[in-house]
C-alpha cells in the first residue's frame, strides 16, 4: 500500500473508530452503573426486583438493537454509509445525555423508569445502526487481503468503550464522596458523552462516502429494497442464518462472559469492592485489547473461521475451571481471620413509625491482607423482627471484600485470559461478516446477525446467568456460582459445531 493511501485509511479508521467507541461508551455506562441506576429509577421496596428491572432495561437496550440494524441498515444501503452513521452518532449522544438529566423516581414517580426505558431503547436503536455502518465503511476502504487487519481496529472499540466507561466512572468516584456520587455524581459519565459526540461528529463530517458504495450508486447498482433482498431472498437468508448460528451467536456469549459476566461475578458473587473490580477489569482490558488487532491480522493469513472457532472451543473448555479459580481466590473459608482485630459496631435507624432497622457493622481482617466489611441489617417493627412473604425473618447481609495485591493480580490474569478468548472470536468477525454479503445489501445483511447474536444471545446473558445462579443457590447447590456458565457454554457449543461443519473457507471469497 502506498504512503498516501495508508494515510487515507488511517484517517478512515480513526474517524470511524472514535465514533463507534463513543457509542459503545454511551451504551456501557448504563450497564456499569446498573446498581446505582436501579436505586434511582426503580421502586426500592425489593432490591432484587429493582436490580432485575435494571437488567431488563439493559436487556431492552440489547433486544432493540436488531431493529436498529434493520432500520439504519436499510438506510445505509439506500442513501450511504457515511450519512447513516452520522445520524446514529447524534441519536446515541442525545439519548445518553438525557438519561443523565432524568429526575429520580422519588421526584417524578413512575415517569422516571418510563423515560429511562424509552431513552435506553433509543440507545439500542442507534447502536444497532452504528456498528454495521462503521465496519462496512472501513472494510470497503481496506485493500484486498487486509480486511481482517483494518476492520480489527473497529473491533477494539467495544472493549475500549467499556474501558473508557469504567475509567470515567472511577475518576468521577475519586473526585467526590461516596454519598455525592450516589446522589448526583453518577450522572456525570452520561453528561461527558456529549463532549465526545460533538468532537466525533466534526471529525466524521469531513469524511467521504465509501468508494465501493459510491461506485455502486453511480452505476445504479444499489438495492431498491434492501430488506426484501436481504431476508426475502433464500440465497441471502441462508447466509444470514449461518452467520447467526455459526458465528455471531457464540461470539456474543463469549464477549459478554469475558467482560460483563466476569464483572458481575466479581461484584455480586465474590462481593469484591466495586472500585477494585473496575480497576482490575480495566487492567485486563488494556492488556487484552491489542490482541484484537493481532487476531484480526492473523485472520488475513490463516482464515477467519479457524481463529474464531478455536477461541470458542477453548472458552467452552476453560470457563468452569477459570470461574472456580476466581471464586477460590477470594473464598474466606480458605483464609485465616485475625480474630483480635474483628470489631462490631451496632447502630439503629428509624425507618418510619415503629419500624426500625437494627444495623451491625462488622469489620474483619485476614492474615493475607484481605479485609471484609459486613453490614447486617435486621428489619424490625414494634420490637419484633419482620417476616417476608415466605415467613422468613427480614435480615439482609451485605459483604464487601477488599482484596490483597496477590489476589488482585491473580484475578487480573483470570479475566485477561477471558479477554483473549473475546479477541479471538471478535477480532476477525467484522471482516468475516462483510465478506459474506454483496455491497448493495451489505449494511443490512451483516448488521442483523451481528446484533441478534451479540445483542440478544450475548446481551441476555447477565439476566439468564444471574437467574441460573440464584436458582441454584436457593436449591442449596454447593457450586451454585458456576451454574450461570451453562448458558454461554451451551450456546457457544452449538455455535461451534455449526460453524465447524457449515462455514466453508469459500464463504470469505464470495464477495471480495
Partner 1 sequence: MNALKKLLGIIWILLAAAVSYYCIAIFGGKLSSGKQDDLVFGIIIFFILLPLVVSGLGLFGYYCLTNEYDEDYD
Give the footprint of partner 1 on this chain (CB under 8 A).
46, 48-49, 52-53, 55-56, 59, 63, 234, 237-238, 241-242, 244-245, 452, 456, 460, 463-464, 467, 494, 497-498, 501-502, 504, 506-507, 510
Tell me whether residue 180 or residue 237 sits nearer to partner 1 (CB atom): 237
C-alpha cell at 292: 484484537
Per-residue b or e along 136-161, where b marks 16 or more CB atoms closer than 10 Å to that residue's CB: bbbbbbbeeeebbbbbbbbbbbbbbb
Tell me whether residue 28 or residue 239 sits nearer to partner 1 (CB atom): 239
Tell me whether residue 295 or residue 432 sits nearer to partner 1 (CB atom): 432
Residue 334 is given by DSSP the state: G
| Residue with cell string 477453548 | 314
What is the total residue count of the chain?
512
277: CB partners within 8 A, 6+ apart: 263, 266, 267
State the nearest-atom distance from the C-beta of 467 to partner 1, in Å: 5
Tell me whether residue 22 or residue 249 sits nearer to partner 1 (CB atom): 249
State the nearest-atom distance from the C-beta of 46 to partner 1, in Å: 7
Tell me whether residue 166 or residue 448 sits nearer to partner 1 (CB atom): 448
Tell me whether residue 153 or residue 245 sits nearer to partner 1 (CB atom): 245
C-alpha cell at 135: 465496519
State the nearest-atom distance from the C-beta of 402 to partner 1, in Å: 30
Tell me whether residue 53 or residue 329 sits nearer to partner 1 (CB atom): 53
Tell me whether residue 49 or residue 79 sits nearer to partner 1 (CB atom): 49
Tell me whether residue 105 or residue 366 sits nearer to partner 1 (CB atom): 105
- CB–CB of 97/30 below 8 Å? no
Alpha-carbon distance 92 to 124, whole Å? 8
Tell me whether residue 8 or residue 493 sits nearer to partner 1 (CB atom): 493
Write the Ramachandran bin of 220: left for phi over 0, alpha for psi from -120 to 50, otherwise beta. left
State the nearest-atom distance from the C-beta of 439 to partner 1, in Å: 18
Alpha-carbon distance 467 to 463, whole Å? 6
State the nearest-atom distance from the C-beta of 355 to partner 1, in Å: 22
State the nearest-atom distance from the C-beta of 238 to partner 1, in Å: 5
State the nearest-atom distance from the C-beta of 16 to partner 1, in Å: 29
Residue 220 is given by DSSP the state: T
Phi first, then psi: what are they for 133, rounded to 5°?
Answer: -65, -45
384: CB partners within 8 A, 6+ apart: none
* Burial class (CB within 10 angstroms; exposed 0-12, middle 13-18, buried 19+) of 328: exposed
- CB–CB of 477/283 below 8 Å? no
State the nearest-atom distance from the C-beta of 235 to partner 1, in Å: 9
C-alpha cell at 317: 473448555
Using CA atoms, how far residue 436 sits from 27, 226, 335, 388, in Å, is 27, 15, 53, 55
State the nearest-atom distance from the C-beta of 455 to partner 1, in Å: 10
C-alpha cell at 103: 429526575
C-alpha cell at 261: 459476566
State the nearest-atom distance from the C-beta of 474 to partner 1, in Å: 12
Q: What is the 3-state secondary structure (H, E, C) of 49-91?
A: HHHHHHHHHHHHHHHCHHHHHHHHHHHHHHCCHHHHHHHHHHH
Amino acid at each position: 500500500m502506498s504512503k498516501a493511501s495508508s494515510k487515507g485509511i488511517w484517517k478512515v479508521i480513526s474517524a470511524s473508530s472514535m465514533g463507534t467507541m463513543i457509542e459503545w461508551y454511551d451504551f456501557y455506562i448504563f450497564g456499569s452503573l446498573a446498581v446505582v441506576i436501579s436505586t434511582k429509577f426503580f421502586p426500592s421496596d425489593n432490591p432484587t426486583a429493582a436490580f432485575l428491572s435494571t437488567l431488563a432495561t439493559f436487556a431492552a437496550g440489547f433486544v432493540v438493537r436488531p431493529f436498529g440494524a434493520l432500520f439504519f441498515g436499510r438506510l445505509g444501503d439506500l442513501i450511504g454509509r457515511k450519512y447513516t452513521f452520522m445520524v446514529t452518532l447524534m441519536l446515541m449522544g442525545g439519548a445518553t445525555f438525557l438519561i443523565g438529566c432524568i429526575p429520580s423516581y422519588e421526584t417524578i414517580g413512575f415517569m422516571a423508569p418510563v423515560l429511562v426505558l424509552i431513552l435506553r431503547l433509543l440507545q439500542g436503536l442507534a447502536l444497532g445502526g452504528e456498528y454495521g455502518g462503521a465496519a462496512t465503511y472501513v472494510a470497503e476502504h481496506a485493500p484486498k487481503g487486509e480486511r481482517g487487519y483494518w476492520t480489527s481496529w473497529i473491533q477494539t472499540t467495544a472493549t475500549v468503550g467499556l474501558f473508557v466507561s469504567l475509567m470515567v466512572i472511577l475518576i468521577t468516584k475519586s473526585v467526590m464522596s461516596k454519598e455525592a456520587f450516589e446522589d448526583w455524581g453518577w450522572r456525570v459519565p452520561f453528561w461527558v458523552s456529549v463532549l465526545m459526540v460533538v468532537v466525533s461528529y466534526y471529525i466524521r463530517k469531513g469524511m467521504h462516502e465509501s468508494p465501493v458504495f459510491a461506485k455502486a450508486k453511480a452505476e445504479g447498482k444499489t438495492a431498491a429494497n434492501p430488506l426484501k433482498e436481504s431476508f426475502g431472498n433464500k440465497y441471502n437468508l441462508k447466509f444470514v442464518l449461518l452467520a447467526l448460528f455459526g458465528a455471531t451467536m457464540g461470539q456474543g456469549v463469549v464477549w459478554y462472559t469475558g467482560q460483563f459476566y466476569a464483572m458481575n461475578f466479581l461484584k455480586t458473587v465474590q462481593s469484591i469492592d466495586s472500585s477494585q473490580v473496575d480497576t482490575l477489569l480495566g487492567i485486563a482490558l488494556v492488556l487484552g485489547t491489542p490482541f484484537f488487532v493481532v487476531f484480526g491480522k492473523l485472520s488475513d493469513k490463516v482464515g477467519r473461521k479457524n481463529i474464531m472457532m478455536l477461541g470458542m472451543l477453548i472458552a467452552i473448555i476453560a470457563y468452569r475451571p477459570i470461574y472456580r479459580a476466581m471464586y477460590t481466590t477470594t473464598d474466606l473459608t480458605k483464609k485465616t481471620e485475625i480474630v483480635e482485630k474483628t470489631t462490631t459496631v451496632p447502630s439503629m435507624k428509624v425507618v418510619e413509625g415503629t419500624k426500625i432497622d437494627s444495623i451491625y457493622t462488622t469489620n474483619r481482617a485476614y492474615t493475607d491482607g484481605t479485609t471484609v466489611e459486613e453490614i447486617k441489617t435486621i428489619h424490625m417493627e414494634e420490637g419484633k423482627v419482620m417476616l417476608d412473604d415466605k415467613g422468613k425473618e427480614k435480615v439482609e447481609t451485605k459483604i464487601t471484600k477488599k482484596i490483597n495485591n496477590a489476589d488482585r493480580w491473580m484475578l487480573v490474569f483470570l479475566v485477561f485470559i477471558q479477554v483473549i478468548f473475546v479477541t479471538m472470536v471478535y477480532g476477525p468477525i467484522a471482516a468475516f461478516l462483510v465478506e459474506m454479503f454483496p455491497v448493495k445489501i451489505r449494511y443490512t445483511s451483516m448488521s442483523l446477525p451481528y446484533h441478534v447474536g451479540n445483542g440478544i444471545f450475548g446481551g441476555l446473558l447477565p439476566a439468564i446467568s444471574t437467574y441460573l445462579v440464584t436458582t441454584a443457590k436457593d436449591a442449596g447447590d454447593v457450586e451454585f456460582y458456576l451454574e450461570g456458565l451453562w448458558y454461554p457454554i451451551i450456546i457457544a457449543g452449538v455455535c461451534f459445531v455449526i460453524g465447524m461443519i457449515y462455514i466453508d473457507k469459500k464463504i470469505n471469497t464470495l464477495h471480495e
